[in-house]
Structure 1
Amino acid sequence: MKKIVLLLSVVALVIASCSSDADSLPVIVPLADSVVDTNGILLKKAIITANSVSGADEINFTYAGNKLNRITYPNGSYDVYIYTGDLITEIRNYNADNTLSSTDDFHYNSSNKLIGRNDLGSGVFETSYVHNSNGTISFNDSGDSGVIYFQNGEIVRITKNLSGGGVSEDTYTYDGMNSPFKNIVGFDKMAFAYWGSGIFHNELTYHYTATGGITGTDTTTYTYNSNNFPITSTHTLDNSSDVITAQYFYQ
């Protein structure tokens, strides 16, 4: 999975990384009304530390208005975001020596809904999406197929039939506060392509199950500024002493 994952959850950079009854889906805590205009707040920098490694990683974000221009990583590599209008249509990942490493292309229908993604790196990985009338999205991802369920604009459940046999299910819960990435133009149109971690809000729990008795839950806690954006997060991996912390800085 490409480094875009970190855009959805900066912590995820260091970590790696079916019923349709709405009553059974996780609930997102509602965000209290605020008279403060937060539409111009953008993430400028994140500093990541992990108790299993020494030192800290700094990730920097630059913009053109509210459009994401570049994410720069500690090793000098960087992602460049290409827009067509207000839609993110390409992400180019470059090595520190400015050579192109890989490209993600995004394809939309006439309603500006994402219908396909091509990951062009060492191979070509294609994912297609079908937007269903009940608000779910069906997908086929390199042989895996499944359904993505949403509530209040966030992914709350993903069921998947695995190409090698077996099934898996992921569920997510969120806070009601502001995601560091909520004000990025076009982000909400394509962020679901990289599964959970939060589009408008911040992921609190991620629970996974799979054939063979595989199961686990990751948890994240936050502190917030006066505008309800996170300024720190602490991510704990399931059944592990590994803890990843992040500090968030805004412009």
Structure 2
Amino acid sequence: MANSQGDPPTSNYVYKGNKLVKRFQSGSDSEVINTYTGNLMVSTKFITTDDGVLHQQELYEYDNQRRVIVSRLYVHMNWEDRVIKTIYTYNPDNTVLCQRFTGNSVSQTTPGSRGKIWLNINGQVLKSEDYVNGGLSSRVVNTYDDKNSAFKNAVGFDKLYGGENTMTHNLLTSTTTYWSNEIVSQVDGFSNTFTYNEEGYPITRESLTIGASSPSFSQYFYE
């Protein structure tokens, strides 16, 4: 996928079958490595390519219904030993509760923020809310098209929440509202407009960020 602002970088996605095992951007010194057990993603590593330094790693655990129930984000930047653990609880109304804990690589016991995720019938995030000290701190609202995402056939991503790579359909709008002391303090977001090929996969994307004076453009290439 190529972007059009300045000298356009190209985002490259490397597959083994339907497994997305690596992604990197031209001109960048970092890459993302995904590891699978069967068709479930169990690890995502963020690595500097010139020296092989591991900056972040996220590990995932699943229940017997192949749903993610625990994720642990290990942050190693600047020699940190910081871990954010998220526990996911599933409700029958297609919502997911999230409880975050912080700590180090030995234990994560300090309570952090709580969250709630509302899913559509495709398992995509329609809305999510985060709460800090019992008060609403942020809300994200998303809308989607009915076409095919470029990552639709990448196995494992449909079990995770958030990010372009997790989507069956393409994200049209995303709006994030932040609260401070029960008052709206900031609103961020963007909108996307796509063109598609005959199979319904995107070939171009025009993105406009809230507050931006002009959009950015991306092209998709399939091999």
Q: TM exceeds 0.5?
A: yes
Aligned residue number for residue 87 of structure 1: 40
Shift of 1:165: 5.1
TM-score, with structure 2 as normaliser: 0.83
Are residue 134 (structure 1) and residue 93 (structure 2) matched?
A: yes
Match of residue 118, structure 2, among 122, 145, 149:
149
Aligned residue number for residue 130 of structure 2: 160
* Alignment gaps of 5+ in structure 2: 77-81, 102-111
Aligned residue number for residue 14 of structure 1: none
State the alpha-carbon separation in 1 of the partners of residues 173 and 39 from structure 2: 31
Aligned residue number for residue 106 of structure 1: 60
Shift of 1:196: 7.1
Are residue 47 (structure 1) and residue 2 (structure 2) matched?
A: yes
The answer as to whether partners of 2:157 and 2:166 remain within 8 angstroms in 1 is no
Equivalence map 1:170-189=2 (5 Å): 170-189=140-159
Distance change in 2, residues 1:81/1:248 (3 Å): same
2:210 aligned partner, one-letter code? D
The answer as to whether partners of 2:94 and 2:120 remain within 8 angstroms in 1 is no
Shift of 1:201: 0.4
TM-score, with structure 1 as normaliser: 0.74
1:186 aligned partner, one-letter code? G
Shift of 1:220: 0.7
Q: Percent identity?
A: 28
Aligned residue number for residue 18 of structure 1: none
Distance change in 2, residues 1:196/1:231 (3 Å): closer
Match of residue 11, structure 2, among 59, 66, 69:
59
Higher strand share: 2
State the alpha-carbon separation in 1 of the partners of residues 34 and 165 from structure 2: 20
Aligned residue number for residue 236 of structure 1: 208
Shift of 1:96: 1.8
State the alpha-carbon separation in 1 of the partners of residues 126 and 164 from structure 2: 8
Q: Deviations over 1:211-230 (max 9, x none)?
A: 23233442110111111000
State the alpha-carbon separation in 2 of the partners of residues 161 and 89 from structure 1: 27
Are residue 70 (structure 1) and residue 22 (structure 2) matched?
A: yes
The answer as to whether partners of 1:207 and 1:215 remain within 8 angstroms in 2 is yes
Aligned residue number for residue 33 of structure 1: none
State the alpha-carbon separation in 1 of the partners of residues 133 and 171 from structure 2: 27
Aligned residue number for residue 22 of structure 1: none
The answer as to whether partners of 1:162 and 1:168 remain within 8 angstroms in 2 is no
1:230 aligned partner, one-letter code? P
Shift of 1:163: 5.0
Distance change in 2, residues 1:152/1:196 (3 Å): farther
Shift of 1:162: 2.7
State the alpha-carbon separation in 2 of the partners of residues 111 and 208 from structure 1: 31
State the alpha-carbon separation in 2 of the partners of residues 59 and 249 from structure 1: 10
Match of residue 96, structure 1, among 37, 41, 49:
49
The answer as to whether partners of 1:61 and 1:71 remain within 8 angstroms in 2 is yes
C-alpha RMSD of matched pairs (Å): 1.9
Q: Deviations over 1:159-197 (max 9, x none)?
A: 22135954322111000000011101111112x1x3678
Higher helix share: 1
Larger RCO of the pair (alpha carbons < 8 Å, separation 6+): 1
1:91 aligned partner, one-letter code? T
Flag as ranges the 4+ runs of structure 1 deviating above 3 A: 163-166, 195-198
